[in-house]
Amino acid sequence: MDFLGSAKGDPKSILVIIIPEIHFPLLFLVEDRDAAKVVSAFDGLEARLGSAKFREIFPSVLTDRDPCFSDIAGIEMSKADGAQRTFLFFCDAFKSNQKASVENINKTLRRFFPKGTRLDDVTEERVREVNRVIAETKLFSLDGHSPKEAFVRLFGSEAYRALLGE
């Protein structure tokens, strides 16, 4: 998990969560990012998927030490049943290679949102559209399949529709 950097002073950011084994991205447009907004993204995912499916898809989360990821209990614990929903881990400082999948997806996102681009005028719909394009792109590393196809095969089409609203 990471934030795609935006221009200085930009109130909007894009929260990036990726399932690394299948290169499957989830993008969230966040205004005035803080720890509560990150927790809210996880709460929303759990609400849409259900607790059991959430735990299956997100058994653990790896991120950096951005202050927005500091509410460990909020991210790890379910609001629905109070149980552990995931485990949060932090990579070592200045070791972005420890979360290479999210760094790679950030490079891909730069094709849509070049470095220095302000996100003021970016809409939720635009972020969902970019998410769909990336998820449906065929990848050599997935033997010519897309992250969407891999996700559906592993977790089912109902879970996919719950995540991306298709």
What confidence tens digit (pLDDT) does each residue in 91-146 have?
Answer: 887 776 767 677 788 889 999 999 888 898 899 999 999 999 999 999 999 999 99
Q: In the prediction, which pLDDT does 166 show?
A: 63
Q: What's this model's pTM, rounded to 2 decimal places?
A: 0.91
Question: Does 165 score more than 70 pLDDT?
Answer: no
Strand order in the sheet with 24-31: 2-4, 12-19, 24-31
The CATH superfamily of 2-164 is Ribonuclease H-like superfamily/Ribonuclease H (3.30.420.10)
What per-residue confidence (pLDDT) applies to 98? 67
Q: Reduced to 3 DSSP states, what percent helix, strand and coil does the chain have, rounded to the nearest 5?
A: 50, 20, 30
More confident residue, 116 or 18: 18
